[in-house]
Chains A and B, each alone.
Chain A
Amino acid sequence: MSIEIPKDSWPGEVRTITIGATAEEGGTRTSTVTVGGEKTLPFMHFESPMPYRPVVAIEIKDRKPDDWSQLLNETWGEVMENPGLWAKAAEEVGAEIIQLSLSLTDKDGNRNTAEAAVSAVKNILENTGLPIMVYGPGQAEIDNELIVPISDATKGERVVLGICEDKNYRTIVASALANDHLVTARAPMDVNLSKQLNILIQDMGLSLDRVLMDPTTGALGYGIEYGFSVMERLRLAALQGDAMTQLPMAVTVGFEAWKTKEAKVGVDVPKTWGDWLERSITWETLTAISLIETGADIVSLRHPESVKRVRAAIEELIAVPAIA
Chain B
Amino acid sequence: MALSGIEIYKLLPKTNCKDCEFPTCLAFAMKLATKQVELSACPHVSEESQSLLAASSEPPIRLVSLKSDGYEVKAGNEVVLFRHEKTFYNMPGLFIRVTDEMTSEQIQKKLKPAEEYLVNYVGIDLAVDGYAIESTSNDPTKFKSAVESVRSVSKKPIVLICKDPKVIRAGLDVLEGESPLIYAADESNWEEMGEIAKNANAPLVVSSPNIDSIAEITEKLKDFGVLNLVLDPANRDLSTSLMQFTQIRRLAIKKDFRPLGYPVIAFPCHAPSPETESIQAAQAITKYAGFIVLETFSPEALYALLVLRQNIYTDPQKPIQVQPGIYEINDPKPEDPVLVTTNFSITYFSVANEVEGSGQPAWLLVSEAEGMSVLTAWAAGNFDAERIAKDVKRFEIADKVTNKQIVLPGHVSVLSGELEEELPDWDVRVGPREAVDLPAFLKQAL
Contacts and interface: CB of A to CB of B under 8 A. Distances in A.
Contacts of B307: 220-221
A220 B259 contact: no
A217 B162 CA distance: 42
A233 B239 contact: no
Nearest to A281: B275
A1 B219 contact: yes
Interface in A221-279: 221-226, 228-229, 232-233, 236, 259-262, 264-265, 268, 270-275, 278-279
B240 A259 contact: no
A225 B312 contact: yes
A48 B414 CA distance: 47
A177 interface: no
B104 to A, nearest CB: 26
A8 to B, nearest CB: 8
Given A224-B308, A225-B311, A1 B215 contact: yes
B287 interface: yes
B239 A221 contact: no
B84 interface: yes
Nearest to B242: A43
Contact of B119 (A270, A309, A319): A270
A151 B357 CA distance: 45
Contacts, number: 169
B247 interface: yes
Contacts of A290: 282, 286, 308
A228 B313 CA distance: 12
B83 A225 contact: yes
Given A223-B373, A259-B436, A273-B119, A278 B300 contact: yes
A274 B119 CA distance: 10
A312 B254 CA distance: 32
B239 A319 contact: yes
Contacts of A275: 298-300
B246 A265 contact: no
B201 interface: no
Contacts of A273: 119, 299-300, 303
Given A221-B311, A222-B350, 4 more contacts: A5-B251, A228-B286, A228-B312, A323-B209
15 contacts: A5-B251, A188-B376, A218-B373, A221-B121, A222-B350, A261-B350, A265-B436, A272-B303, A279-B303, A282-B304, A283-B304, A289-B283, A293-B286, A313-B238, A323-B240
